[in-house]
Homo-oligomer: A and B are copies of this chain.
Amino acid sequence: MADPSLDNLQLPQTMVNGQQRSEVSVLDRGLAYGDGLFETMRVVDGRIALLDYHLARLRRGLLALKMDADQTAIISELNALAGQLGDGVLKMTLTRGIGKRGYGIPAQAQPTRICQSFAPTGYPIENARTGIRLFECQTRLAVQPLLAGIKHLNRLEQVLARSEWSDSIHAEGMVRDTLGNVIECTMSNLFMLHGERWVTPDLSGCGVQGVMRDYLIDRLGQAGESVEVRKVDFSTLLESTEVFCCNSLYGVWPVIGLADTSWSIGSRTRQAQRLAEQVIK
């Protein structure tokens, strides 16, 4: 656990390119076009949980967007900020940097690196203990293989999906693609137990490849579980015997309901939850 006395300290200032600042230029292409990437990371005891997975996704994003960035500087800044934060959430945004008007990528573009510290998430502990209900979002994700999987700054689909409900009955919303496939939740990935195997949706057409998803695929595999990454239609979800959603901030939430369908929380979901807790608690 982090030193409780840290709770009374002011959180570190927002850093922009290594300096304490909380604003960026209106010419930044992150603002103009969503031209950039971000990572939202859980910090526990001054350390970033699943840092290697976050960095791997960041590298995939840099490649997809044809961006370059000083990864050594990023890692050392993130570790330093995590040490100051102790326990909470660290968000890093990496934009293409400042540019003139127009879509063309500036030849001399210098990325803008923004690091923000936040207090720990305030999700109800019951979400993890007694499970959550999913809202069935009508917003569909467009199929765009060029941008699938990475965590870029073009997130209007998630904003629209999350705007569909405001009650406290639903802790998350399930989102399908425009072809009808089950893809993910607005801020989480989905796993479902189908027969004896875990299934998680293929994200080659859309969706965010969450780092907790990648970690659980690895760890469940090491624990002897079979995890299949494949297209998932709606009936496969409904016919599953256990369902959970996950992300790197809260770990695993068992899913107990979606519209008229109910699930009970099984031992296999609790096992996945324990694996998640090994890195975020």
Q: How far is the CB of A74 from chain B (nearest CB, A)?
A: 16
User: How long is the Cα–Cα vector from A95 to B153 in the complex, in angstroms?
Assistant: 14
The B-contacting residues of A in range 171-185, CB under 8 angstroms, are 178
> What 1/0 mask marks residues of chain A from 149 to 173 whose CB sits below 8 Å from any chain B CB?
0001111111111110010000000
> What 1/0 mask marks residues of chain A from 11 to 27 whose CB sits below 8 Å from any chain B CB?
00010100000111111
**Chain B hits for A96, CB < 8 A:** 159
Number of copies: 2
Does B143 contact A139, Cβ atoms closer than 8 Å?
Answer: no
**Which residue in chain B gives the minimum CB-CB distance to A152?**
B156
Does A159 contact B35, Cβ atoms closer than 8 Å?
Answer: yes
Does A14 contact B26, Cβ atoms closer than 8 Å?
Answer: yes
- Judged by a CB distance under 8 angstroms, whether A93 is at the interface is yes
- Judged by a CB distance under 8 angstroms, whether A195 is at the interface is no
**Chain B hits for A31, CB < 8 A:** 24, 28, 30-31, 93, 95, 153
Does B26 contact A93, Cβ atoms closer than 8 Å?
Answer: yes
Among A46-54, A98-106, A267-275, which stretch is in contact with chain B? A98-106
**Chain B hits for A178, CB < 8 A:** 143-144
- Judged by a CB distance under 8 angstroms, whether A194 is at the interface is no
**Which residue in chain B gives the minimum CB-CB distance to A114?**
B26
- Judged by a CB distance under 8 angstroms, whether A187 is at the interface is yes
Q: Given that A23-B26, A40-B101, A101-B118 are known contacts, is A32 also in contact with B93, CB under 8 Å in the complex?
A: yes
Does B24 contact A65, Cβ atoms closer than 8 Å?
Answer: no
Interface centre among A40, A95, A139, A163 (most CB of B within 10 A): A163
Q: How far is the CB of A204 from chain B (nearest CB, A)?
A: 13
Q: How far is the CB of A87 from chain B (nearest CB, A)?
A: 16
> What 1/0 mask marks residues of chain A from 53 to 80 whose CB sits below 8 Å from any chain B CB?
0000000000001100000000000000
**Chain B hits for A30, CB < 8 A:** 31
A-B interface, 6 closest residue pairs, ranked by CB to CB distance from nearest: A34-B34, A142-B144, A142-B142, A154-B154, A33-B155, A23-B23
Known contacts A23-B23, A33-B34, A103-B162; can you find 6 more A-B pairs with CB under 8 A? A22-B25, A23-B24, A32-B93, A104-B163, A105-B159, A142-B206
21 intermolecular pairs with C-beta atoms under 8 Å apart: A22-B25, A23-B23, A23-B26, A30-B31, A31-B93, A33-B34, A33-B156, A34-B156, A35-B155, A65-B159, A65-B160, A66-B160, A91-B101, A103-B159, A103-B186, A105-B159, A105-B162, A139-B146, A142-B142, A142-B206, A147-B157
